[in-house]
Structures are given as C-alpha cells and as structure tokens.
C-alpha cells in the first residue's frame, strides 16, 4: 500500500481506453534513439540498476517504457518524473535487449520539450546559449581573472553564428510554462 | 596527426566554475611535453541540450568539430561530457548520411561544414594512450606514498560503452593506474562507478544531494584521504556541495575533492599555489601536508 501511495499522479489514476494513443509507439520507433522501444520485455534491469531510482519512488525507467508501449502518451510527456534521469547511461549499457533506455527517455523529453513541458533550468541554459554561445553566462569578472591566473583568454562563443545554425530548430521557438524544481 | 599537439576544447563549465582544473591540467601537460593550441572560437558542446532537443545537440557538436577540422588538429577536452558528445556525434554523422546532411544544411548558415576528419580525446585517455603510464611515472619526483585516495571517473567518460572503448565502464582501470603512478594508493569502494548526481541538480536537488551523499559515505567507509575527479561537473557536485550535504544530512566528511592533474602536479614537484589548490572549497591542507611530508622523507 505504501508503495502505491508513493507513485506520482501520472501513474495513480485508472487508465481509460480512450486516452491511449495506439500509434505513438510506432512513431517513436522511427525516431533516432528510440528504435529499440518495442524490444523491451519489462525485465526491470534498468530500474534496478538506476542510481536515481534508489533515492526517489517517482522515477522508474521501466514504467515509463511500459507506459509508452501501452500508448499513454499524455501521461508520459506530462510526467515531471521524466526529468529526473541523470543520463548516466547505466541502463543503456546493461539492457539485455539493447533498448538504449536512456536514449528512449531522451526522445520522450524532446517530445515533452517541443510541447513546452520543460524544467526552467533548460530554458536558462538555452537563453545563455543564444546570448553568449556558452551554456552558462560566464561573468565578465571571471573572464578578466583568467589573465591574473596565467590563463589565455577564453575563445569567443560567437553567439551570432550559434543563432544562425540553430535557425528553424523547434526548441528555440516561444514556449509555455516551465516545470518547477522539486524543492521550490 | 601529431599526437603531442592538441586543440584544447574547454567547454563551458570548466572556465565558468572550475578554473583550478584548467590551471592544473595546463601545468601538468606542459611538463609532459603535450602542446596545446587554443580554439579560435567555440560554443557549448551540445550535451546540456540533448534532453530538450537532440537536433540542437547534433548541430552544436558538429559546429565545434567543423571549427576544429579547419585547424587540422585533434581535440583534447577536460570535461568527459564534452568528450563523450563530440565523439558520439562525430561517429553518428560519419555513419548516417541523412543526419549529416541535416546538420550540414544548418552549418552552411555559418559557412561551416562537418567532414569527420578529427578525433576527440578526454584528458584521461590522452594520458593513457599518448603520454603513457611509464612516462608519467618517470615524471614523478615526489612520490605521494603517504596518500590513500579514492577515484571517481564520471559517467560520460565511460558510458555508453559503445562510444568509449579505452576502458571498461563496469570495472575501469585507467584512473586507478594514473593515481598509482603518482605513488599514492587508490582504494576500492562500493558503487565506485555510480553517478555523482550533478545532472539532477536543478530538476531535483534533493535526489542529486542524496546521490552524492551515498558516494561520500562509501568513500568515508574506506578512510580515503581525498577523492580524485576528472570531470568539472563531478568536482562541483562534491566540492561545492560537501558542506551542504554535511549540514542537510548531519554527516561529517571533510574529504578534499582534488582534480587528478593537481595530484599529479604535486607528485611532479609543482607547488600547491601553481596548481590552484587555493580555489578548492573543502580544505585540502591535510593532503598537501601528506604530499609534502613524503617529499621531505624522500629527500
């Protein structure tokens, strides 16, 4: 019972046949990284070896894969637990079925992000990227300090050319509300 | 290509928060005769954007590779994330024409083209394959025989194993051998290859801190005098958060987190000042004392 209570809302509600998208799994299989989705036979190696799953009852890679196989598209893409994966690739390396679990999770995240469902931290990095070319805004003081530390100047980030090459990439179009940090 | 001359790709996190890693790496590599050439420009390797847009990751990594191709030099990175991304994308684009054409149509906007003519190595791989353990041993003038330390490799240095063939992700040996080359003892501990938690910061700090705490507990269990890292993110995760973890979970560690090139630098006789030990948050004085104490005995 305690286990059930700990499950996130995306897995608690009874499943209605009307919310299933039976074609989603076939769409996913055509995407780079998710080709192996249907090879998963639910052995649970990914979840049992997942370092994040040891410290939260909310994140279960096997469950997410199963939900996708069933066609629970909205539940997967709107699940905030999707973003807990630390991309350590242990599941990918140990999966006996070569599902490339971490890459399938990444495909879920990409689809969620396209629909505007993404934690704030990724938006901040995107903002920094298009402004500076780097993933973080490196303070001017830090750049100046390099000289006194005997370091050569940091090569320029050339944000103009970053903006040019990212023209037409979906994620850099206007977005909806972010998912808050679990602690906030 | 000359294996003693590399284009150094700094990535974003090292210059942003961990200059001690860059300073000590440059000092040690100069002593080992590795020549570093600065990139004329670079941008984020692409890794932080893979979760939100795989396409963005491919384009950013390919842009950096195309810039390096123009210089005609292989790439050295200090960050395992950068190395993993550049290696992975290089291979994907060389093998998959559809993806390569997609990426090149974007790069054309900046007059660049990915051709697939350069390779990327992380610092650890360069030290193992191009410099060699024997040469590193020969560079040691002050063996750190009084030190017992633990290692932390960092996931993206070893996984997914498909893209990193220089070590075994389940039982890695390279960092261990490099540590022992300095004269220090490298201790084994439980779940040595497990993630530090850094990628979960910002999504769930609670989970991230618990991951790091678990590792620190296992390191403390074997009485390691320091933890040796080769990744800017892992270093930030432990060094910046150790105090916070101690306070949050009522633990006591006091384990200094040291970059491998800092350790090697001490063994080469460089001073703690030259190796930017002053930048570390967890006081490394006891490690310095043990290192220098060994030096006095040695003389």
**Phi first, then psi: what are they for A15, rounded to 5°?**
-85, 130
A18-114 CATH, one of 1.20.1640.10, 3.40.50.2000, 3.40.190.10, 1.10.1060.10: 1.10.1060.10
Q: State how far the Cα of B253 lies from the Cα of B246, in Å rounded to an integer.
A: 7
Mutate which of B13, B43, B168 to test chain A, going by most A C-beta atoms within 10 A?
A: B43
**pLDDT of A10 higher than 70:** no
Q: Which residues from B are below 8 Å from A146, CB to CB?
A: 15, 19
Mutate which of B27, B53, B77, B163 to test chain A, going by most A C-beta atoms within 10 A?
A: B53
Residue B296 has what pLDDT? 53
Min Cα–Cα distance to chain B from A21, Å: 22
**pLDDT of A85 higher than 70:** yes
Q: Please tell me the least confidently modeled range out of A24-28, A40-44, A75-79, A101-105.
A: A75-79
Q: Is A127 on the interface with B (CB under 8 A)?
A: no
Across the interface, whether the CB atoms of B42 and A157 are under 8 A apart is answered yes
CA A123, A129, A133: angle at the middle one, nearest 5? 175
* Across A8-26, average pLDDT: 86
Q: State how far the Cα of A112 lies from the Cα of A123, in Å rounded to an integer.
A: 13
Across the interface, whether the CB atoms of A52 and B206 are under 8 A apart is answered no
Neighbours of B186 (CB within 10 A): 19
Q: Please tell me the least confidently modeled range out of A97-101, A118-122, B171-175.
A: A118-122
Across the interface, whether the CB atoms of A110 and B51 are under 8 A apart is answered yes
Secondary structure class of B237 (helix, strand, coil): helix
Residue B265 has what pLDDT? 98
Q: Which residues of chain B have pLDDT under 70?
A: 1-2, 294-299
Residues in contact with A141: Cβ distance below 8 Å, sequence separation at least 6, in sequence order: none
Where are chain A's structural domains? 18-114, 120-172
Reading across the β-sheet that carries B120-122, which strands appear in turn? B35-38, B5-9, B75-77, B120-122
Q: Which domains can be identified in chain B, with CATH numbers?
A: 5-123 (1.20.1050.140), 133-298 (3.40.50.11810)
This complex has an ipTM of 0.92
Please report which confidence band the pLDDT of residue A4 belongs to, taking 50, 70 and 90 as the band edges: very low
């Amino acid at each position: 019972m305690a286990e059930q209570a700990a499950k996130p809302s995306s897995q608690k509600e009874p499943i209605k046949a009307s919310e299933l998208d039976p074609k989603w799994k076939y769409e996913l299989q055509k995407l780079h990284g998710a080709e192996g989705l249907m090879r998963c036979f639910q052995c649970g190696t990914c979840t049992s070896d997942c370092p994040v799953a040891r410290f939260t009852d909310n994140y279960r890679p096997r469950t997410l894969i199963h939900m996708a196989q069933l066609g629970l598209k909205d539940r997967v893409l709107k699940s905030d637990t999707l973003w807990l994966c630390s991309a350590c690739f242990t599941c990918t390396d140990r999966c006996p079925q070569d599902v490339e679990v971490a890459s399938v999770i990444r495909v879920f995240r990409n689809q969620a992000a396209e629909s505007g469902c993404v934690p704030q931290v990724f938006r901040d990095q995107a903002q920094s990227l298009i402004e500076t070319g780097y993933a973080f805004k490196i303070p001017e003081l830090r750049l100046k300090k390099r000289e006194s530390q005997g370091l050569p100047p940091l090569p320029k980030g050339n944000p103009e050319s970053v903006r040019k090459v990212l023209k037409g990439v979906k994620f850099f179009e206007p977005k909806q509300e972010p998912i808050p940090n679990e602690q906030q | 290509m000359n294996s003693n001359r590399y284009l150094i790709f700094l990535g974003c996190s090292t210059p942003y928060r961990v200059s001690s890693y860059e300073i000590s790496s440059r000092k040690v590599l100069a002593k080992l005769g590795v020549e570093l050439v600065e990139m004329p420009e670079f941008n984020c390797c692409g890794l932080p954007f893979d979760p939100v847009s795989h396409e963005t990751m491919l384009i950013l990594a390919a842009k950096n590779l195309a810039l390096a191709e123009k210089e005609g030099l292989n790439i050295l990175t200090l960050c395992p994330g950068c190395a993993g991304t550049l290696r992975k994308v290089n291979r994907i684009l060389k093998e998959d024409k559809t993806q390569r054409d997609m990426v090149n149509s974007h790069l054309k906007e900046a007059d660049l083209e990915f051709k697939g003519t350069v390779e990327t190595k992380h610092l650890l791989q360069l030290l193992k394959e191009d410099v060699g353990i024997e040469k590193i041993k020969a560079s040691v003038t002050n063996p750190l025989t009084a030190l017992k330390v633990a290692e932390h490799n960092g996931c993206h240095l070893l996984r997914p194993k498909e893209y990193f063939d220089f070590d075994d992700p389940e039982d890695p040996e390279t960092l261990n051998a490099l540590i022992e080359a300095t004269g220090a003892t490298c201790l084994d501990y439980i779940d040595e290859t497990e993630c530090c938690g850094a990628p979960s910061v910002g999504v769930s700090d609670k989970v991230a801190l618990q991951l790091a705490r678990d590792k620190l507990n296992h390191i403390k269990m074997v009485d390691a005098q320091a933890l040796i890292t080769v990744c800017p993110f892992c270093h930030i995760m432990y060094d910046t958060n150790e105090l916070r973890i101690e306070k949050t979970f009522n633990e006591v560690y006091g384990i200094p987190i040291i970059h491998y090139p800092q350790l090697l630098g001490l063994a080469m006789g460089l001073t703690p000042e030259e190796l930017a030990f002053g930048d570390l948050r967890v006081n490394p004085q006891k490690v310095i004392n043990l290192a220098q104490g060994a030096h006095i005995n040695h003389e």
